[in-house]
A and B are shown apart, each in its own frame.
Chain A
Amino acid sequence: GDSVTQMEGPVTLSEEAFLTINCTYTATGYPSLFWYVQYPGEGLQLLLKATKADDKGSNKGFEATYRKETTSFHLEKGSVQVSDSAVYFCALSDRSNTGKLIFGQGTTLQVKP
């Protein structure tokens, strides 16, 4: 079945460092891809999404490009802040039209001042 694999955390960076969180997927067909962020004690919020190959999603300085040839959707940010400390989830939506998402295991990011 469809699945999502993220790099293991936790990831610890200094403020203003470059961030990459790797995400690869396995799916039949061409899923839509998402990054969600979860701050401590809260639910998930959509960070960005891409619905077809070569699309780039971006929001709040974060970017991710839908790469069909490598089945990847890596999350990047040029300069992280302490406030970016959170858990990041990569997810895919299959083409079944149910709207349900399949999530990766999450990657914890800690940014130190």
Chain B
Amino acid sequence: DGGITQSPKYLFRKEGQNVTLSCEQNLNHDAMYWYRQDPGQGLRLIYYSQIVNDFQKGDIAEGYSVSREKKESFPLTVTSAQKNPTAFYLCASSSGGYTGELFFGEGSRLTVL
């Protein structure tokens, strides 16, 4: 089945540690996105990529990093510089353009202990 796979579903980390969240898609989409979801705040864009080897910062990129070495993959690293990393992280992809829908993965919940 085509879709987006995020892993792990749940992740715990100690303060000061970097952690990488995986996102893989087999929809052959050019564009991929990372959003952060906090209770009562909706979704906020962290990074997005419209093509391999290129990506742009979203609204809350500080403390995060990404790479886009393959079309299918868009991993997100939450670094120790992110002050409040506990959140639900959602990866999405689309065929691009302003009328296209985003397809979301099931999310990764990160808890910093």
Chain A residues with CB under 8 Å of chain B are 4, 31-32, 34, 41-46, 49, 51, 89, 93-106
Shortest CB distance A59–B (Å): 12
B16 within 8 A of A: no
A96 and chain B: residue at smallest CB distance: B98
Could you tell me which B residues sit within 8 Å of A by CB distance? Answer: 4, 6, 31, 33, 35, 40-45, 48, 50, 56, 58, 90, 92, 94-107
With most chain B CB atoms within 10 A of its CB, the pick from A44, A49, A89, A93 is A44
Q: Which 9 A-B pairs have the closest CB atoms?
A: A43-B104, A105-B42, A103-B43, A103-B42, A46-B101, A99-B94, A44-B104, A93-B98, A99-B96
CB within 8 Å for A94 and B101 given contacts A44-B90, A105-B41, A106-B42 = no
Grouping DSSP codes into helix (H, G, I), strand (E, B) and loop, the A interface class, with mixed when no group exceeds half, is: loop
Chain A residues positioned under 8 Å from B33 (CB to CB): 99-100
Cβ contact of A99, chosen from B31, B40, B44, B104, cutoff 8 A: B31
- Do B101 and A43 touch across chains, with their CB atoms under 8 A apart? no
- Give B50's nearest chain A residue, CB to CB: A98
Which A residue sits closest to B9, measured CB to CB? Answer: A41
Q: Quick check: A100 and B45 within 8 Å, CB to CB?
A: yes
CA distance A41 to B41 in the complex (A): 16
B106 touches A43 (CB 8 A): yes
Identify which of A42, A96, A99, A104 gathers the most chain B CB atoms within 10 Å of its CB. A99
Are B102 and A101 closer than 8 Å at their CB atoms? yes
Docked CA distance A27–B44 (Å):
17
Please pick, from A31, A42, A45, A106, the residue contacting B98 in the complex, using a CB distance under 8 A: A31
A98 touches B99 (CB 8 A): no
* A residues near B31, Cβ cutoff 8 Å: 98-99
Chain B contacts for A34, CB-based, 8 A: 101
Give the docked Cα–Cα distance between A100 and B42 (Å).
14
